[in-house]
Chains A and B, each alone.
Chain A
């Protein structure tokens, strides 16, 4: 019977985040989700940081702790490297979750379990992942627990044929994932899995839930899960290398054309089209440029070359241009062709896309935008421009109440850069908003911007006070908004920001 080997990369979210940000692994670091510690590394643990701790408590214990954001996609993405490397050693790996992977033990090939474990640990450490532990047992659950009991970069092999039961019986109950069951078992005085195993099976299921029942069956030698291999994702990324490196964007685009066609063709043979592509450009002496592009329909070879051209042009204008050594197209999202097939009678949308592509070719990708609405307090916060073809990311919810926002109608002109304005009272003194929200005097005269004439205020309303981000260092922003109507009948939205006036919008 084949044995199961589990590779456990301890504190994986922290290791993945540190690795991706290029930070050294000995720093105390923790990954936070919703302000609570999701995972922390050994250095942070030495200061007393624990899972589930609040961020301020963690920082109080260790002020220099690296605060990293939780990101499941990142964890999975970085772990993919490990999977690919392990697949080279032993095909048919079974990822359990980021940081934990099972495979059929290759002990016979390496001439022993300890040797197999050492070979695999060496390969994972070679990827820069320091804290790796390996467990080998008859079945999956035991192997995972064995890996958790193993020392740093060591292998813990549970003896075959009956060794699992003895190993599992000695484990404390908190290895169960179910917090309620663990607490109940402890209150009943059962501290090890052995105690759980001695209870009758039906009662365990009824009292402690499915997971405890399953673990009990595992200890009794039933309910083992077989290791099933995964199918490696097909290699769809296409790349083209330039030797010698190419300087001009035109030359790069011309030479990458064939690769782009190959990329589209490779997807087409699987009857798929790509709607989001990542283009990686490696350059000499400068940081690589990597961008994800989305397409409202799907990418053709010409579209890919367009995006590549924009990316190169963008790199040059931001001063990060260099000689290009390699271009790589990686499909981020591929969907079946049928989803995007043309309607029988054609559509006008394709025509529109072409027109937009022409303007984008003229002015650059970001110049053409789609207007979208989002939640916010000021008129400028309530709208967003999304580059055409991109998907809007992180839009604020409009359904939230947004206290302090101005009631409708919305102003027609929302100034991209607010104008410095001036508002005076009867005596000609500038109007100020007092700390408690009062106004120093009624606005009587108003000038929307320095170049425009003064005019008398016919009527006004406000202030709508807003204190934004007061918890940030520096105190955030205290603003108060006013609606002003001049004697000429035009209405303005003016803002008092700390000590000066701004014209934010006009009801043109």
Chain B
């Protein structure tokens, strides 16, 4: 137990030093806040140069919708099954969205080229991403002031988002149709305990993500205690 606490302290210290170095490395204007969809207001704030990992496509679309509806260009790389109508419903401006559905083996080159010109890139990497590759992309993001949302795993992502406990409303036993979904979005920042927020996504009236309440459960409290 004692060893565990020591390890946690060390990690926290390392993270602190890292953030300090990051702050020093940053050019002025970097880390600026990007427009984020209001539904994710309490969950995550997109920043220029940041990398985000999401495990659900609709959640990634919500992240995309923030900058897109604020007039920025966005790109989607390697997401073959991108539901265009759902993206439009989430608030993504299709006029300023570039899709590269099948980049084959060149997803990295395509992403790098698009990072230069758009504000937010949503990418589904094929296979595991090597930490070195992620670092290179990260450096490029920081110089360009863009952000990246990875669908799936991304080494050392700033924030990891998970859509958990989805509960659909409106469907019966052979009747009705899907109307609304309540889900809990879990945001993990580094080694900090996850922050969980329940959202209606989409809500019954077609709007997105009315935040209900921050969710805390026993497991989280325990984690906080141990930290």
Residues of A within 8 A of B (CB): 348, 351-352, 354-356, 358-359, 362-363, 367-373, 379, 382-385, 388, 406-416, 439, 442, 459-462, 483, 485, 489-491, 505-508
Q: Nearest CB to that of A384 among chain B residues? A: B84
B171 touches A408 (CB 8 A): no
Kindly provide the distance from the CB of B216 to the nearest chain A CB, expressed in whole angstroms.
20
Kindly provide the distance from the CB of A365 to the nearest chain B CB, expressed in whole angstroms.
12
Q: Nearest CB to that of B109 among chain A residues? A: A362
Kindly provide the distance from the CB of A418 to the nearest chain B CB, expressed in whole angstroms.
10
A416 touches B178 (CB 8 A): no
Residues in A with CB closer than 8 Å to B166 are: 489-491
Contact of A485 among B88, B106, B171 (CB under 8 A): B171
A370 touches B86 (CB 8 A): no
B110 touches A416 (CB 8 A): no
Residues in A with CB closer than 8 Å to B88 are: 373, 410
Bound form: Cα–Cα A384–B102 in Å: 15
B85 touches A383 (CB 8 A): yes
The total of interchain contacts (Cβ-Cβ below 8 angstroms) comes to 149
Kindly provide the distance from the CB of A295 to the nearest chain B CB, expressed in whole angstroms.
16
Which of B9-17, B34-42, B55-63 contacts the other chain? B55-63
Kindly provide the distance from the CB of A408 to the nearest chain B CB, expressed in whole angstroms.
7
Residues in B with CB closer than 8 Å to A359 are: 100, 110, 113-114
Residues in A with CB closer than 8 Å to B193 are: none
Q: List 13 A-B contacts (CB under 8 A).
A: A348-B73, A355-B114, A355-B116, A359-B110, A363-B106, A367-B103, A373-B94, A409-B89, A410-B83, A410-B86, A412-B86, A414-B82, A461-B171
B113 touches A362 (CB 8 A): yes
Kindly provide the distance from the CB of A206 to the nearest chain B CB, expressed in whole angstroms.
54
Residues in A with CB closer than 8 Å to B114 are: 355, 359
| B173 sits at the interface (CB 8 A) | yes
Kindly provide the distance from the CB of B134 to the nearest chain A CB, expressed in whole angstroms.
20
CB-contacts of B55-85 with A (<8 A): 56-58, 61, 73, 80-85
A372 touches B94 (CB 8 A): yes
B57, B109, B113, B177 interface centre (most CB from chain A within 10 Å): B113
Residues in A with CB closer than 8 Å to B4 are: none
Give 1 or 0 for each of B84-109: 1 = CB within 8 Å of chain A CB.
Answer: 11111100001001111111101001
A408 touches B206 (CB 8 A): yes
CB-contacts of B152-208 with A (<8 A): 165-168, 171-179, 181, 183, 202, 206
Contact of A363 among B85, B103, B178, B202 (CB under 8 A): B103
| B117 sits at the interface (CB 8 A) | yes
Residues in B with CB closer than 8 Å to A489 are: 165-168, 183
Bound form: Cα–Cα A409–B171 in Å: 13
The 6 closest A-B pairs by CB, nearest first: A355-B117, A383-B84, A410-B85, A489-B166, A412-B58, A459-B171
Residues in B with CB closer than 8 Å to A354 are: 117
Q: Nearest CB to that of A367 among chain B residues? A: B100
B98 touches A442 (CB 8 A): no
Kindly provide the distance from the CB of A60 to the nearest chain B CB, expressed in whole angstroms.
43
Residues in B with CB closer than 8 Å to A461 are: 171-172, 174-178
Known contacts A355-B118, A412-B86, A491-B168; is A442 also within 8 Å of B101 by CB?
A: no
Bound form: Cα–Cα A488–B208 in Å: 22
Kindly provide the distance from the CB of A330 to the nearest chain B CB, expressed in whole angstroms.
29
Bound form: Cα–Cα A318–B6 in Å: 63
Additional A-B contacts beyond A367-B103, A412-B83 (12; CB < 8 A): A355-B114, A355-B117, A362-B109, A383-B85, A385-B99, A409-B86, A410-B83, A416-B101, A459-B172, A461-B178, A483-B178, A508-B56
Kindly provide the distance from the CB of B96 to the nearest chain A CB, expressed in whole angstroms.
8
B177 touches A412 (CB 8 A): no
B173 touches A408 (CB 8 A): no
Residues in A with CB closer than 8 Å to B202 are: 409
B98 touches A483 (CB 8 A): no
Known contacts A406-B177, A409-B178, A461-B176; is A370 also within 8 Å of B98 by CB?
A: yes
B177 touches A414 (CB 8 A): no
A483 touches B177 (CB 8 A): yes
Q: Nearest CB to that of A356 among chain B residues? A: B98
B100 touches A505 (CB 8 A): no
Q: Nearest CB to that of A493 among chain B residues? A: B178
Bound form: Cα–Cα A317–B227 in Å: 58
A413 touches B177 (CB 8 A): no
